[in-house]
Structure 1
Amino acid sequence: MNKILIVDDEPNILLSLEYLFKKEGFMVFIARDGEEALEIITETKPELVLLDIMMPKVDGYEVCKYIKEKYAKIKVVFLSAKSKQQDVQKGLNLGADLYMTKPFGNKDLVSKVKNLLN
């Protein structure tokens, strides 16, 4: 069973994505900010992290940088409202495997996550 971590400070997004991915057969962990995400990554070593950028304490860019330095095999997918080309480029330059802007389609997201993990 694939382990994924969903990191977002927006409770509605966390709940809907947690439900969506559990329904698809994933083991799901959730974090409400970057600091919590770093602890869960260290403890659980998920295969993939769905990561928001704008969060309290530690932002998504810092979390991505940490993941890619310490756990290069973990896939990172940014899910962000930041849609400017420079934001997308920054995320990809930090090693993100995919950058999707909000709002996104659930089917599209699940399909892309499955492709990254296979």
Structure 2
Amino acid sequence: MAKTVLVVEDNELNLKLFCDLLRAHGFAVEPVRDGREAVARAREVTPDLIVMDIQMPHVTGYELILELKQDEALRHIPIMAVTAYAGREDEERIRAAGANAYVSKPITLARFMAAVSQLV
């Protein structure tokens, strides 16, 4: 059975890229365009991994990570942040919030998939 990845990304092109790439590598994908829907969707599908942008409208990736990690049913799910924030302090802040991995944009396919493989 395919592992399921919840992809939270407000940019349509990035969402399509991440979903297509994951599907091409045999993953089942659940796309979410709005961080406000991510926790409810995660509860519905209980994904094996959550891939998310950090800079989103309405709910930041930091807020979303904290909410997911405070939820008893979801805190065990690894989170991979994919973001244009590329500074060392940004990575430290993202990991401190609870993300298990960090990939900066623009992504390389090999780095993206290597990070996914380490988490599932």
TM (norm. structure 2) is 0.91
- Number of residue pairs aligned between Structure 1 and Structure 2: 117
Structure 2, unmatched stretches of 5+, are none
Which one of 109, 113, 116 corresponds to residue 110 of structure 1?
113
Corresponding residue for 2:3? 2
The amino acid across from 2:38 in the alignment is A
Indicate if the aligned counterparts of 2:103 and 2:111 stay in contact, CA closer than 8 A.
Answer: no
Give the whole-Å Cα distance in 1 for the aligned partners of 2:77 and 2:117: 14
Residue 93 of structure 2 aligns to a residue in which SS?
A: helix
Q: 2:52, 2:61 within 8 Å by CA — same for their partners in 1? A: yes
**CA contact 1:7–1:31 (8 Å) conserved in 2:** yes
Structure 1 position 74 matched with structure 2 position 70: no
Match among 79, 84, 88 for residue 85 of structure 1: 88
Note the 1:1-118 alignment, pairs <5 A.
Answer: 1-70=2-71, 71-117=74-120
Unaligned ranges ≥5, structure 1: none
Structure 2 Cα separation of the partners of residues 87 and 100 of structure 1: 11
Distance 1:101 1:114 in 2: 16
Any idea what the Cα deviations from partners look like across 1:36-71, whole Å, max 9, x if unmatched?
212211211111111101111111111111111212
Q: Percent identity among equivalent residues?
A: 30
Q: TM-score, normalised by structure 1?
A: 0.93
Instruction: Give distance in 1, aligned partners of 2:114 and 2:47.
Output: 18
Considering only aligned residues, what root-mean-square deviation do their CA atoms show, in Å?
Answer: 1.1
Which stretches of structure 1, 4 residues or more, deviate above 3 A after TM superposition?
Answer: none
* Cα shift at 1:9: 0.9
Amino acid corresponding to residue 73 of structure 1 in structure 2: H
Contact kept, 8 Å, 1:8 with 1:31, in 2: the verdict is yes
Most deviating of 65-74 and 20-29: 65-74
